[in-house]
Amino acid sequence: MDVHLGVQWQGVLIACLAGVGLAAVYDGLRIFRLLLSGEKGHVVLQDFFFMVFSAFITFLVCLAASYGRIRLYLLACEGIGAGVYFLTLGQVTQRMAKGIHRVFCVICSWIRRFLFHPVFVVLRAVGRGIRRKLRVLKKIPKKSRQNPQNPLKPPAQIVYNHSIGFFQRKRKRGGKEGGPEDEGH
């Protein structure tokens, strides 16, 4: 099956337009990344899906232009179309996207400064007031437990030799078990 020269030129035009379209899609991804500042994992996923999409479009271009045969001039024309887009419209869209990003950052900082910051200041003040009230409420039961005639703290109930372990025997009063009290008698 021989392909005529007119059909080949038509394939070149389709491939160049497909390259421009793919470059425009990738430029949209670049603008999206610039505005949202994604993580590396998101960038890798976006690039992977773009590569799958561009492979599908390239297959459709080859199918339409040369009956499914992959011809080198079709791939080269697709690359030329993408290069022309990036060197002309791509530069303009990047500058516009950076300007839009600056305006977006100014608007976000204004919203943060004049809307969210006062709300946070009010919430912080309310939280401090609640904490103070809770501290006062915690102190009230302690004061009510104290004896009003004797404002001193009650003595600690700690006796050092009072604990009896599992293997210790309980001493009887008077030292009848032969402890250290019996040595002096």
Per mean pLDDT, which range of 4-13, 23-32, 144-153 is the poorest? 144-153
pLDDT at position 66 is 77
Which contacts (CB < 8 Å, 24+ apart) does range 22-26 have?
22/53, 22/54, 22/57, 22/78, 22/81, 22/82, 23/81, 23/82, 23/83, 23/85, 23/86, 23/90, 24/85, 24/89, 25/50, 25/53, 26/50, 26/82
pTM across the whole model: 0.54
Q: Which residue has the higher pLDDT, 134 or 173?
A: 134
Per mean pLDDT, which range of 25-29, 45-49, 111-115 is the poorest? 111-115
pLDDT at position 180 is 52
- The DSSP secondary-structure symbol of 8 reads H
CA pair distance 7, 69, nearest whole angstrom:
13
- In the chain, where are the structural domains located? 7-87, 101-147
Q: Which residue has the higher pLDDT, 100 or 69?
A: 100
**pLDDT tens readout for residues 89-98:** 988 988 888 8
